[in-house]
Amino acid sequence: MNWNNENVIKFIEAYKEKQVLWNPSHKSYYNRNLKQEAWDELSVEMECPVGELKKKMDYLLAALRREKAKITITSTTGKGQDRASKDNTSENEENDHIGEDHDQSQDKQPRSTASTESDQTTDNAKNSSKS
């Protein structure tokens, strides 16, 4: 298939409609049969094999993560801001909301530690020494 911008946007729009493929809070997200049916429907709509569609979506999501990482790195370090890749192509804009939902399901943030009695004692000692 020729993956020009028009076809990519058409694919992303069709993918968005199939929440079973990307939304972990969807009631059928974990149903493999329904997911396969959704991919099959996309395959018919796009006139492209399922394997190629899955590969393309993996590529689009990876590209989106790379672009977001570049922006995050340049905004936190300040280095290279004049060269920062803020490429808001229509593909990235279309894929952005899917990437956020998809990333949230895969991101594992470290848990914050509970404050212990010794931490509170140390904090109290620091505060009293400042007075």
Span 14-31, pLDDT tens digits? 999 999 999 999 999 999
H-run or E-run covering 107 = none
The number of CA neighbours under 13 Å toward the Cβ of 23 is 12
Write the DSSP assignment of 43-94 as a string of letters. HHHHTS-HHHHHHHHHHHHHHHHHHHHHHHHHHHH-TTGGG------HHHHH
Read off the pLDDT of residues 50-101 as tens digits, 9 standing for 90 and up: 999 999 999 999 999 999 999 988 887 776 655 555 555 555 666 666 666 6
SS3 49: coil
Name the strand (E) or helix (H) holding 116: none
